[in-house]
Chain A
Amino acid sequence: MEAGVVLKMQGICMTFPGVKALDHACLTLKKGEIRALMGENGAGKSTLIKCLTGVNKFEAGEIYLEGFNGPIVNKDTMDAQNKGIATVYQEVNLCPNLSVAENLYIGREPLTKIGTVNRKAMNRQAEELMKELELDIDVTRNLEDYSLALQQMIAIARAVDMDSKVLILDEPTSSLDDREVEKLFTMMRRLKAKGVGIIFVTHFLEQVYAVCDGITVLRNGQLVGEYNIEELPRVKLVAAMMGKDFDDLASIKQEGSGDKRKEPLVIEAKGLGHAGTIRPFDLDIHKGEVIGLTGLLGSGRSELARVIYGADRAQTGTLKVKGKEVKIKNPIDAMNLGMGLLPDDRKAEGIIGDLSVRENIILALQAKAGILKRIPMAKQIEIADKYIEMLQIKTASRETLIKQLSGGNQQKVILARWLATDPEFLILDEPTRGIDIGTKTEIQKLVLKLAAEGKSLIFISSEIEEMLRTCNRMAVLRDGAKVGEIEEADMNQMSVMKAIAGGDSNE
């Protein structure tokens, strides 16, 4: 192997039933390099990584790792870890009902002399690790007590703590807010200085240019090219990923899509709240209006939406839907009033993993119809095919299990589930998280199209640009309370950031 190269993958091929996921894919990683692995959803990024870590068995190709003569094949992740390859996957893969410390040291617990787990030492080491990474976490509490973002940080901490030659981060940032991302970058730079090679998968282009030294682009399981960061400016990167020229997002929204407040009210929330998650708030939403909820992660964006939808039951206040006061106890009540919610935690609250794409699409419609009125199979197939076609869901067939789809395509299936119910009021909580640029654009366009059809929407996203492009008005949240609204005329990056930050941030 050339000098300075720590990992080289060559001609990797891998087939899933009905899909050629990797077709002679390659990747070269140097020592002390941060390399972005880029590609649209379904390009094969995760699969390539899983071939490296032994989760997937590849059919052809070789993997060379520094310190080993000849090609290596990892039997499983444990094997990969022992060889010095640590991984953090897209979705948090830890045990929610174990403590943070236990999660950090699963499989490598410090032992006492008699061979039992030395909890004291384990907790102490865990605490030190957390301090080093500046995370404010009680390591004895269960993992599930922490937000998705913190769980992700813990997963990264676990990988970082094991002395590795290669660290793989598969979309670790999709659930982190800016501050946390910055922390992660600091961590990555520190490791880079120590000579660790890092493979970094992300959908945020800014992040690529903020930390990476090189870019490897995949498309349809094939290598498009390996570049130094200077060789590939943004536009070219996007073009490489999509295999075409990039249709400029800025032009999606027509100017002055305007004030919808002459339109009739759809949602009127007064003093609605839920102890511990969101303090009482007022919110009006009109027909055809897109309201953005903005704020830092954990500021109560999702929680506000969940209270309206009845995912968390409102404990205070009143809610009127189209002028009529309603009591929503469960999501089904909200659905019967014409609402829908696409939740932010796709794996935990969105997909029904072992059911097919078809079954996942008709699920909400079936729930509305009731248990006795089964949607006839012919109708189910018709609906499923319609949305697979319309949203261009990449799946081997409509009977493929949804868990076998890539993240972005899973998201499209959940979106299809709600579109199939023809909702009048749709809440989209981070619909574009972990999704490639092309699909992001499609979803934004879809939001505007729905609004034009007279549907009302709540749109939640960590990307301010995205909301500026789609929303008529924004509500700002901070520390579990709604603190204000921003009118369309005043909406720009700066004003939104200021509102989120709060106080007198007069810079």
Chain B
Amino acid sequence: MSSLKKITQKRLFLPIFSMILVMLINVIYDMACGNAPLTFFTVTIKNGVLYGRLIDIFNRGTEAAILAIGMTLVVSSSAGTDISVGSVMSLYGGMCCMLLAGYGNTNVSNYAVPLIIGIGAGLLTACVCGLFNGFLVAYMNIQPMVATLILWSAGRAIGLLLCNSQIVYVRVPSFQKIGGYVGFIPTPILIAAACILVASLVLKFTALGTYIQSVGINKKASRIAGFNSAKIILLCYVICGLCAGLAGMVATSRIYSADTNNIGLNMELDAILAVALGGNSLGGGKFNLAGSLIGAYTIQAIDTTLLALGVSTAQSPVFKAIVVILIVVIQSEPAKDFFKKLGKKKEMAKGAAQA
């Protein structure tokens, strides 16, 4: 009993529990369909590349996972969310493809400028967006939701403008590779892994985590203790912008085109949900990056599962919402109290039975 209690009190328990729940549904579904029970986990090599539902989840979940990194920091430091990340992804696409194709061209098979310049300029643009958001929040004291609302609506429009209101295709193999495969591994998985690795190393070997949490918990006290709260918040928004750029890079290369109307559409919601699912308080303060990442992949798992279950893409948001509500309710304080009481009652009943 006590060891079970210990496990349930771990911070990562619920996000992991949710993830396992989603996996279980898959297993049951497969069994019901007469497939091998572990179809979900089977990874095979088809046409020379990795193939399987699990691989698909990790591949498709890349954007949400990268966004979740930045979003976690923003939520922690400023007790608010950056709702512009989806638009910034799209803006990355517009900027990068416009440069690579040359302004006005819509379909090219050769770069107008070297690839690295296109990507660099796109990421830089994303960082500038973060800088803009961060400036408004940290120095102008504007509510994060309102401050980022500006780029939420303008970012996509600017991207469209850059592309002369057209979809710009960049049909160059080296560009497509970013959203494709390296050897037999999907490149996005590698990119996500790299981002996660860098983030963990930074949090492990610098004091960034302490700075951010301290500022997020008590801004005034942090200032007295020597932190520059505004700078920290600004930094978080820039990192969030960069993450949006990187997510945009993956999303754009997947479709090797700047479809500015659709790249990153509604991704901000997934990113925010990932943070919440990870057991992080949207009120800021303490954060748990691992939780957010598990949250991001869980959301993708829900998407993939629904697809496998044959739920039509038009209806899947409804199911997703239900699942998300369930998971969030399980993690809420009243529910936790309820489970605790339930546990106690059982223990008491057991005690009575023994006596």
Interface residues of A (CB under 8 A from B): 311, 330-332, 335, 341, 343, 348-355, 359, 363-364, 366-375, 417
Q: Which of A341, A343, A349 counts the most chain B CB atoms within 10 A?
A: A349
Q: Which of A352, A359, A374, A417 counts the most chain B CB atoms within 10 A?
A: A352
The residue in chain B whose Cβ has the minimal distance to the Cβ of A333 is B226
Q: Which residues of A contact B221 (CB under 8 A)?
A: 343, 348-352
The residue in chain A whose Cβ has the minimal distance to the Cβ of B222 is A352
Q: Are B217 and A374 in contact (CB under 8 A)?
A: no
Interface residues of B in 177-216 (CB under 8 A from A): 205-208, 210-211, 213-214
Q: Which residues of B contact A335 (CB under 8 A)?
A: 226
Choose one: B210, B228, B286; the contact of A363 (CB below 8 Å).
B210
Q: Shortest distance in angstroms between A168's beta carbon and chain B's nearest beta carbon? A: 26
The residue in chain A whose Cβ has the minimal distance to the Cβ of B285 is A354
Please count how many residues in chain B sit with their CB below 8 Å of the partner chain's CB atoms: 21
Q: Shortest distance in angstroms between A273's beta carbon and chain B's nearest beta carbon? A: 20
Alpha-carbon separation in the docked complex, A371 to B225 (Å): 13
Q: Are A372 and B213 in contact (CB under 8 A)?
A: no
Choose one: A331, A353, A354; the contact of B226 (CB below 8 Å).
A331
Q: Are A352 and B218 in contact (CB under 8 A)?
A: yes
Alpha-carbon separation in the docked complex, A372 to B286 (Å): 20
Q: Which of B208, B224, B226 counts the most chain A CB atoms within 10 A?
A: B224
A-B contact count (CB 8 A): 76
Q: Are A353 and B211 in contact (CB under 8 A)?
A: no
Given contacts A348-B221, A354-B286, A364-B225, is CB(A371)–CB(B208) below 8 Å? yes
Q: Which residues of B contact A353 (CB under 8 A)?
A: 217-218
Q: Which residues of B contact A332 (CB under 8 A)?
A: 226-228
Q: Are A417 and B207 in contact (CB under 8 A)?
A: no
Alpha-carbon separation in the docked complex, A89 to B214 (Å): 25
Some 6 contacts from A to B, beta carbons below 8 A apart, are A311-B223, A331-B223, A352-B213, A363-B226, A369-B207, A371-B211
Q: Are A341 and B207 in contact (CB under 8 A)?
A: no
Q: Are B206 and A372 in contact (CB under 8 A)?
A: yes
Q: Are B207 and A374 in contact (CB under 8 A)?
A: yes
Alpha-carbon separation in the docked complex, A354 to B222 (Å): 13
The residue in chain B whose Cβ has the minimal distance to the Cβ of A380 is B210
At the interface, yes or no: B220 with Cβ under 8 Å from chain A? yes
Alpha-carbon separation in the docked complex, A375 to B285 (Å): 21
Alpha-carbon separation in the docked complex, A373 to B208 (Å): 10
The residue in chain A whose Cβ has the minimal distance to the Cβ of B286 is A354
Q: Are A354 and B228 in contact (CB under 8 A)?
A: no
Alpha-carbon separation in the docked complex, A348 to B220 (Å): 7
Alpha-carbon separation in the docked complex, A359 to B211 (Å): 10
Choose one: B213, B217, B220, B227; the contact of A367 (CB below 8 Å).
B227
Q: Are B206 and A374 in contact (CB under 8 A)?
A: yes
Alpha-carbon separation in the docked complex, A367 to B228 (Å): 9
Q: Are B205 and A367 in contact (CB under 8 A)?
A: no
Q: Are B217 and A343 in contact (CB under 8 A)?
A: no
Alpha-carbon separation in the docked complex, A127 to B222 (Å): 37
Interface residues of B in 285-333 (CB under 8 A from A): 285-286
The residue in chain A whose Cβ has the minimal distance to the Cβ of B216 is A354
Q: Are A331 and B205 in contact (CB under 8 A)?
A: no
Given contacts A331-B223, A331-B226, A341-B224, is CB(A371)–CB(B217) below 8 Å? no
Q: Are A373 and B207 in contact (CB under 8 A)?
A: yes
Q: Are B224 and A343 in contact (CB under 8 A)?
A: yes
